[in-house]
Chains A and B, each alone.
Chain A
Amino acid sequence: MKRRSAIKNLSLAVAGMVSLPAWVSAWTPESIGQVNSLPIPDENLLAEITETIIPETQTPGAKSLKVHQFVLRMIQDCFGEEAQTLLEQGLLKTDQLANIAYNKPFVSCDTAQRMELLTHLQTSDDPAGKQFVDMVKNLTMRGYLNSEYVLVNINHYNIAPGFYHGCVPI
């Protein structure tokens, strides 16, 4: 119940972002850079976001596979400055939304709250939020699917299959 109302408020806040008072527009991409007092977006938060996307079950999730480090590295080395900014601001925004909705940082939210937050960011009409979640989600899936754990234990990856069969029944 509580969760529902929190999210409802949150929707209001973000949907009305353009016309709302200055404190709300604090997480637009343009203004974030000037807000020096905001917490530095850290690896830990990213790790929790990736874990929300691919959680630990009977098998390891993103955090224990260190998928967040892959995500960071890709954004840092391959994606260019724009993506780096998107990441920094996205992390910030995620925490801010968590604070608005649940009065606590993202890492302290429970699984359901985290999923609501990510879903909200992704479907809100703030394009940067959606881009951020899409980028992190895509990289998380890619990192996870190409992790040693998944390739070896789930896909039984073998560098030299030694064969090709052109027509095998599924």
Chain B
Amino acid sequence: MAFFNIDSIKDRTFDAIVVGSGISGGWSAKELTGRGLRTLVLERGRDVQHIKDYPTTFKNPWEFPHLGQIPKELRDANPIASRCYAFNEDAAHFFIKDNEHPYVQEKPFDWIRGYQVGGKSLMWARGTQRWSQYDFDGPARDGFAVEWPINYADIAPWYSYVEKFAGISGNKDGLPQLPDGEFLPPHEQSCVEKHFTQQMAKHYNNTRPVIIGRCAHLTQPQPIHTQQGRGQCQNRTLCQRGCPYGGYFSSNSSTLPWAQKTGKMTLRPDSVVHSIIFDEKKNKATGVRVIDAHTKEMTEYYAKIIFVNASTLNTNLILLNSTSNRFPNGLGNDNGLLGKYIAFHNFRTTISAEYEGFLDTITEGNRPNSSYIPRFRNVFKQETDFLRGYAAGFGSSRMLDTDRSGFGESLKANLTQKKYGNWHVSSHMMGETIPKETNYVTLDSDLKDAWGIPQLKVSVAYDDNDEKMIADFHQQMTEMLTVAGFTNIKTNDRPDKAPGLDIHEMGGVRMGKDPKTSLLNKWNQLHACQNVFVTDGACMTSNSTQNPSLTFMAITARAANHAVDKLKKKNL
């Protein structure tokens, strides 16, 4: 219980505080400590140490009592978490339980969270695509949301910087809508995926590329990765359990141990940040209030700069809860826009089909990745009746055609006979949603959580634009699959699937040029409280069609280095 003895103000004072230890917080920790700052990393959840705390990582399928399926009692008690595809027997311990962390759904929203050291970096699917200038141009072009204060050129070097350290595999495809990065060798496409790629190039004159996905796996570790103690990805595809080889990027295997090695990081798990302390005389933030997750005791910690990396909605919550005379509506919230313009990715629909060719081939082994169809709608100009566009995942597998009829010896023999059916392909849409004022989060005025913190009230929904986009995806993909010779094409929209399951929520504390219409400047500092930085998904002005986490990393590294530069010049 060493930390309860820390009660002198000096012992509770650091150069920097980072709130949250997930994908973005890990990067804040690494950059700030790497530049010599004594940094306190506060994490509301328990400690999870690389390898040691991955209890299922070496388990064989038959060692799970329910073969991976979640028992009914646990499922019934956690309807929200259960709707996430990765909430299974092997990884359920990394997901929060619904009743322990309640929130108010003004409209249905499945908020998926991992509260522990490493956050959601342990369970994520590791798709890492850069955003392009077309993504940063979106709001300025169609007038929805506000203009970004940064361009692709501002962030490109930081993409390179984080890609090299995290280790991203991919192919240099030379696409304007999906810039190339610093890649380790790409995964292979299957013959059916290659066939689709070729057919698309032929029928659409190279305007609809299909590529191998880019992902945070060490397909060929470089010295910088071995220095982190990470090794070659073994293609186990059991990543959501935590990878003992450090084969994929997680805070636990990469940024946090790196920060630890500097000797400058103090990591405090079980520390729920309640709010940020604003000092009116100094006109800046001086620290944070922390509630011990177990004793519920409140302690204050102090620092010159604060990085808020609690994940999009929790970052909004903390800022909204940071009230003072100067900021009665939440820290930095002079314009009343804090918590508004939340956006997400529309993952509501999928399409599947079969291919009757290549019947003499199969795939072997596993691949922690799939193919990817970058956005091809409204990229260079507005060409449809909906705004922005969608990307899509595209995967293939050879189905086993097993005769399951009858009982007894013949059934037994048939079951283990490898007779292959057609190739099966499927694709899921990842649609950009438009940040709108009507998609917002606020604090509930009555309901509190177990730590006395107001519950978050979420009001986020699909709109007409999303519906039009879904219809277009169905239509375009059906056409694309048809011309490529696929059969048995089936679309599968699930209108009852609430937003949130994409786990790509963004916004609420958006960046912008003008303090009247945005909360953060181009360096991710609150306009009105410049020593507080927000660099997780909350800062996103709009949200592109690509997976967001690589961009969270790049933006974080950029802002953290800027913060240190400013501190060193005594400018903060």
Contact = CB atoms under 8 A, between A and B. Distances in A.
Nearest to A70: B67
B71 interface: yes
Contacts of B411: 53-54, 141
Contacts of B65: 73, 77
Contact of A111 (B408, B415, B420): B408
Contacts of B358: 167
Which applies to chain B's interface (DSSP): helix, strand, loop or mixed? loop
Nearest to B420: A170
B194 interface: yes
Interface string A101-131: 0000000000100010011000000000000
Interface string A143-170: 1111110110011010111111111111
B204 interface: no
Interface in B251-284: none
A52 interface: yes
A163 B235 contact: yes
A163 B366 CA distance: 7
B62 interface: yes
B235 A166 contact: no
Question: Taking each of A154, A157, A168, which has the highest tally of chain B beta carbons within 10 Å of its own beta carbon?
Answer: A168
B363 A168 contact: yes
Given A78-B72, A145-B415, A53 B407 contact: yes
A163 B420 CA distance: 21
B234 interface: yes
Contact of A165 (B62, B238, B363): B363
The interface size bin for chain A is: 35 or more
Contacts of A164: 187-188, 235, 363-367
Nearest to B238: A159
B325 interface: no
Nearest to A59: B412
B471 interface: no
Nearest to B189: A166
Question: Taking each of B191, B361, B412, which has the highest tally of chain A beta carbons within 10 Å of its own beta carbon?
Answer: B412
B67 A142 contact: yes
Interface string A51-67: 01111010001000000
A148 B67 contact: no
Contacts of A165: 188, 363-365
Given A54-B412, A162-B365, A115 B60 contact: no
Contacts of B61: 146, 151, 157
Contacts of B235: 160-164
A79 to B, nearest CB: 7
A161 B366 contact: yes
A166 B194 contact: yes
B236 interface: yes
B404 A167 contact: no
Interface string B51-62: 000000010111
A157 B408 contact: no
B66 interface: yes
A74 B69 contact: yes
B36 to A, nearest CB: 39
Nearest to B363: A166
Nearest to B219: A164
A55 B66 contact: no
B72 A167 contact: no
B74 to A, nearest CB: 9
Contacts of A170: 360-362, 420
Given A57-B412, A78-B72, A161-B236, A146 B62 contact: yes
| 9 smallest beta-carbon distances between A and B, as pairs | A167-B191, A164-B367, A166-B190, A160-B234, A166-B188, A163-B365, A77-B71, A164-B365, A161-B365
Given A118-B407, A159-B60, 17 more contacts: A53-B407, A53-B408, A53-B411, A57-B412, A70-B67, A74-B67, A74-B69, A141-B404, A145-B416, A154-B416, A161-B364, A161-B366, A162-B235, A164-B235, A166-B188, A167-B190, A167-B358
